Each structure stands twice: as C-alpha cells, then as structure tokens.
Amino acid sequence: MSTPTTPPAQPRNPLHGLTLEAIVSALVAHFGWPGLAERIPLRCFSHEPSIASTLKFLRKTPWAREKVEGLYLFMQREIRRGAGPAA
C-alpha cells in the first residue's frame, strides 16, 4: 500500500497558498475595477464587474489568469517599495 505524497513545499513561489479570490480581491481593493480594466483590458473588469464573474472567467482562461497573477506580483513589489498605486 502506498502512502499519500504531500506536494513539495514552494518557499520561493510568492503565490503559493493564495487563492485566486484573494488575489482578485486585493487587486480590486488596490486599483479598483476601472484601474484593473485599464491595466488588463478584459470585459470581466469593465462591464458589470464582480468577483464571482471574474473568478469564473479566470478559471477558464489560463492566459488571463497569468496576466492577473503578474499584476498582483507587480502590485506587491510596488507596495514593498512604498510607491502605492501605479499611475
């Protein structure tokens, strides 16, 4: 009988342990929906935006999810530098 394997720890992955909902919520809190739509031109950010519809779209669209994750990492770097929201 084999023992269940645990996934390897990801100490260098800044997104490890974060849910997509937490990432989107943080971006909305930081940039707002209009700011997100300006930075990543997606309909789910510009036309009747909601967390639920955005999550549904991002879970089905890997390229869009990568852009959102990239923007989140950029936002985190800017916060660490003390720059606040990018203009």
- Mind listing the pLDDT tens digit for each residue in 23-60? 999 999 999 999 999 999 999 999 999 999 999 999 99
Q: Per mean pLDDT, which range of 5-9, 36-40, 65-69 is the poorest?
A: 5-9
Statement: the pTM of the whole predicted model exceeds 0.85: no
| Phi-psi group of 24: left, alpha or beta (phi > 0 → left; psi -120 to 50 → alpha; rest → beta) | alpha
**Distance from C-alpha of 64 to C-alpha of 60, rounded to nearest angstrom:** 9
- Residue 61 DSSP symbol: -
What number of other Cβ atoms are within 10 A of residue 54's Cβ? 24
**Residues for the chain: how many in total?**
87
